């Protein structure tokens, strides 16, 4: 639902508005030109939060790569993470621009989707069908097959349900997802793109869920050491080594297709929103490319420090970064596209309040509530209140809003 709503209400408006306001390449640039921020504060603060939360997001990819190499080649975790980091840095450093990333993502995405669909089907076939898998799950823990209860059979409370649904709010603020909206070929391509994106997400999420379920039945009480490696374990148990190699390459493709998007958005923030905006306004494109490339290396090495903790999980790191982006940028993006009265001060307040709330809430662990919920709510309130308490946008900004709105 989050994917669908993001494509439905944000994609067209963001693409049109980004092109209208100086053909903004990055999210910080969009905010700066959308609100005519001469202080550049919006751009810099936005870039700070992008770099902060992408450190954790990129770290999750390095943890996943480490688990892949550890499981496949029997490496120690530390060596496996370092090897994975080198692979991802090399790929992104020499990987070219947005068009190259888009084409490689298509191939990698198709390979990943095929692998996710094939493995649970193969596992079910080897077990004798869904009935056998269901019986094995019921024998392991019958609560795994009941909705609205946890693994101990206790009913999920309001906080748990809202926290799980809150993941859907995160889509509106992910810079690497929003960047695709701005890069799409034309407005006419958006409906087809939306159907492809939602269909692909539905297939992959359902196949991933099936992989987890079937893995419980296939491995039985013996289980596996790390639940996040269930797909890797099934591939190696079910497939001929040659085929297994191709499918494990699909896992690496999934990791790299996400990591390259994150690293390229981060490097763009450093090159465009720090280096060019604050230090070298006359920087050439070649200089920006090299600044971006070295930024890729620097960000990846910082992310490596987080990933080296062998207690780290992919889901834990992703959930934190997802909440940070969703709360910091989601309300600001939505309101900037729909509310003419929103001004620079409101946008700045919303980004800061959303990002800081996530950091503090996660540290304190208040109420057991996923931090994106309070972050999104407080950011929205901050934008509305601050915008109404400060002068309305200049007539020129409001006219630009009306001109862009007429093109939707």
| DSSP states along 139-190 | HH-GGGGSTTB-TTSPBP-HHHHHHHHGGGGGGGG-HHHHHHHHH-S-GGGH
Phi, then psi, of 104 in degrees rounded to 5: -65, -35
The mean pLDDT of the chain is 87
Three-state secondary-structure class, residue 400: helix
User: Distance from CA of residue 46 to its chain's centroid?
Assistant: 16
Query: Do residues 12 and 187 touch, judged by C-beta distance below 8 A?
Result: yes
Per-residue pLDDT reduced to its tens digit, 8-63: 999 999 998 988 888 877 788 899 999 999 888 998 899 889 888 988 888 988 89
**Gyration radius (Cα) of the chain, Å:** 22
**274-278, 368-372, 381-385 — which is least confidently predicted?**
274-278
**Cα–Cα distance, 38 to 197 (Å, whole number):** 36
List the one residue out of 219, 204, 179, 214 whose CA is nearest residue 325. Answer: 179
pLDDT given for residue 222 in this prediction: 62
Domain layout of the chain by residue ranges:
2-313
- pTM, two decimals, is 0.85
pLDDT over 90 at 366, yes or no: no
**Cα–Cα distance, 278 to 400 (Å, whole number):** 26
Phi, then psi, of 149 in degrees rounded to 5: -135, 155
Fold of 2-313: Sodium/glucose cotransporter (1.20.1730)
Query: Do residues 10 and 337 touch, judged by C-beta distance below 8 A?
Result: yes
Using a pLDDT cut of 70, give the percent of the chain over it: 96
Contacts of 192 (CB under 8 A, 6+ apart): none
The DSSP bridge partners found for residue 155 are 149
**Cα–Cα distance, 337 to 20 (Å, whole number):** 12
**Cα–Cα distance, 48 to 153 (Å, whole number):** 42
**Cα–Cα distance, 201 to 20 (Å, whole number):** 30
Per-residue pLDDT reduced to its tens digit, 315-347: 888 899 999 999 999 999 999 999 999 999 999
For 89-121, letters b (16+ CB in 10 Å) and e give bebbbebeeeeebeebbeebbebbbebbbbbbe
Residue with tokens 């207690």: 311
**Cα–Cα distance, 262 to 256 (Å, whole number):** 10
């Amino acid at each position: 639902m989050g994917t669908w709503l993001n494509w439905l209400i944000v994609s067209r408006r963001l693409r049109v508005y980004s092109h209208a306001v100086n053909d903004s390449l990055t999210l910080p640039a969009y905010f700066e030109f959308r609100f005519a921020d001469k202080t550049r504060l919006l751009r810099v603060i936005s870039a700070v939060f992008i770099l902060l939360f992408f450190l954790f997001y990129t770290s999750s990819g390095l943890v996943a790569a480490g688990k892949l190499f550890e499981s496949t080649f029997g490496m120690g975790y530390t060596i496996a993470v370092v090897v994975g980091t080198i692979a991802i840095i090399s790929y992104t450093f020499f990987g070219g621009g947005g068009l190259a990333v888009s084409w490689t993502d298509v191939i990698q995405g198709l390979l990943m989707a095929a692998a996710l669909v094939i493995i649970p089907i193969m596992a079910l076939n080897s077990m004798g069908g869904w009935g056998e898998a269901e019986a094995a799950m019921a024998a392991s823990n019958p609560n795994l097959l009941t909705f609205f209860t946890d693994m101990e059979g206790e009913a999920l409370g309001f906080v748990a349900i809202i926290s799980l649904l809150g993941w859907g709010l995160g889509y509106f603020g992910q810079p690497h997802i929003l960047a695709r909206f701005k890069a799409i070929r034309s407005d006419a391509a958006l409906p087809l793109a939306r159907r492809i994106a939602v269909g692909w997400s539905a297939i992959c999420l359902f196949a991933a869920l099936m992989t987890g379920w079937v893995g419980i039945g296939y491995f039985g009480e013996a289980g596996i050491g790390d639940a996040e490696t269930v797909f890797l374990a099934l591939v190696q148990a079910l497939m001929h080594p040659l085929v297994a190699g191709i499918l494990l390459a699909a896992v690496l493709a999934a990791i790299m297709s996400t990591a390259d998007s994150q690293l390229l958005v981060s490097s763009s923030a450093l090159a465009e929103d720090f280096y060019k905006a604050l230090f070298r306004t006359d920087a050439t494109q070649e200089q920006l490319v090299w600044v971006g490339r070295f930024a890729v290396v620097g960000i990846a090495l910082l992310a490596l420090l987080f990933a080296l903790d062998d207690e780290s999980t992919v889901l834990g790191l992703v959930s934190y970064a997802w909440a940070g982006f969703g709360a910091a940028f989601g309300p600001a993006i939505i309101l900037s596209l729909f509310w003419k009265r929103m001004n620079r001060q409101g946008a700045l307040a919303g980004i800061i309040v959303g990002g800081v709330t996530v950091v503090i809430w996660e540290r304190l662990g208040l109420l057991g509530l996923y931090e994106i919920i309070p972050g999104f709510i407080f950011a929205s309130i901050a934008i509305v209140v601050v915008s109404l308490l400060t002068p309305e946008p200049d007539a020129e900004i409001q006219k630009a809003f009306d001109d862009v709105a007429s093109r939707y």
